[in-house]
Structure 1
Amino acid sequence: VTYQLIITRLISLFLLLVLPSYGVAHANLNREIHTLHHYHFSVPAGLESRVEFWKKIYSEYSTDHYILHDMDDLSKIYKVVYIKDGSKLSNRSRDHKLKRFKKKYRKILLKIARVKNPLSLKGESKRVYNLVKSNFKMASRRIRIQVGQSDRFRAGIGRSGIYQGRINKIFSKAKLPLELTVLPHVESSFQTNAYSSAGAAGIWQFTRGTGRLFMRVGYDIDERRDPILSTLAASKLLKTNFETLQSWPLAITAYNHGAYGMKRAKRRHGANIVDVINGYRSRNFG
């Protein structure tokens, strides 16, 4: 599998996992064929700029790069800040540096909002004006910072080589789309010792509650940290999600947000993932 193919698969799946964090334009996904072992993971219409943004995050920008962008329109990038060994700095020190840039562009946007004659703008203010075009005051509230992931992703590819063959066999045997095997790149960068603030562990980032449905999870034995046993568990969870929801976009989103909540969302808003995201709100979704 080539690096570019992994990137493409990753972005398709990553969008389904992160879309709940963003407002998105309507896209028609209902025409896709959904079966347990077949789904064509393609870019939904209207989300091309988001895909390009995340491709850059995972292929061009390292964890020393911090991208200031509009949270609603990912094509609008204000600045890429480079902080050498930024990931090694304390959160306080790094945040202090980044807040200065965020404050700078917020000020520029508010200044543009007050300007009566845009032709008087010069330099960076002119560039930002041409980039944003309208609703500058609102845009000043939507500045977000995303850290690059290319070095973590490349390291994850190296680590995945140890397990990828066996993972593929497990998913093939379960008759699941092989594209799903790149999910650990999103969840953990294939770090077996990954542990999140929410208590999720292992390459598939199972929480204790979900993990116990498929594995032994305790203080003496925690099978979530075993790459192969957790892969078997992930294949069962994804298969169960699909059988419940009959849609791979919904089943994949349920991997993080729960099948019960997604089933309720589907009942209210239909099977179109974008309709679900735009219309459904709960404590863990949206």
Structure 2
Amino acid sequence: MQAKDVQLNTEVQGLLDQVNALYPGKVSVSFISDQQVGFVRHDQAQQVKVGDDIVIQVADLTAPNYTAAHELVHLLMVLSGFPQVFFSLTTGQPQLDEQLMIMGTELYDIVSHVVVVKEQQKHQLITDEIKQLYLNGVTATLKPEPTPVDDEMTLRTLTLLDALVFFGTGDQAVMDQFERDYPISLAAAKKLYAIITEKPVTSPFSLRRNVVKLFKAFDEQLEAWHLPALHNTEFTTLSSVLSQRQLGLEVKQVFEFYHSDMHEKTTQRRAYVGINRTDQQNAFVLPAPAPKEDSPEYFTKYYNLTVEELFKQLKMPYILR
């Protein structure tokens, strides 16, 4: 099979039509490679912005419809008002920033996959063949756990957590294989899976709640393994889901400003992170004032705005609950 021969099936075409009905530009799917690696993995497609349009580029033809649909559902979620992640902070170390962004996005995506998988099942896109190809993707990504464990425990745990979202915990053959090859990381992934499935994702609010829970629980797991925590509750900005009442409250009632050691990317000045008082999650980032603006009033004026006024001023998207 060659890229030029691939046709979207009716289910995936339907998803593409749904996305185009919501997106102001044009969304298209492009198969950009003839490669067929024999497994599916979520890095086989990406969204590329071309002017006002979005092209979903699929770089592997092992399961082109499944892979395109996966990306389309992610896009559909954003267009339907589910929270997104943003990265406005820098540690001053580009490589570390990159790693933190990848990890923050991965954790957010895993929670999103709870919705994506359900949607793909609804469209009959997860067949026994796809399940096998997904399993092939896990084994292609992960080496079995050595004794003593190596430095790939984080990757194993993330990959297995995502696999639990995909398979659930009821497929005994898959669970037995994971148990045999990755006993320690599977135990960690199961704990995290229980946390993110304790309450169903039925709305933008519940998705956001589960993302924050996972950010915190994943750090706890890393610390239990004496690995450095990611601090996604500070580093990663997650869209706020607010009620009409909260929008009318003063900023200081809903958020507190936390003086971060990190810098705001655009200005390169020290950052103040707007932390949600309820769950301690980064909701927006303000740069420290320029020297000539530096006065106690600088923050007082922000604190006294309503939440709606502040978000408008920052051009920060939010979701109405």
Assess same fold via TM > 0.5. no
Name the one with the larger strand percent: 2
Tell me the TM-score normalized by structure 2.
0.27
Tell me the TM-score normalized by structure 1.
0.29
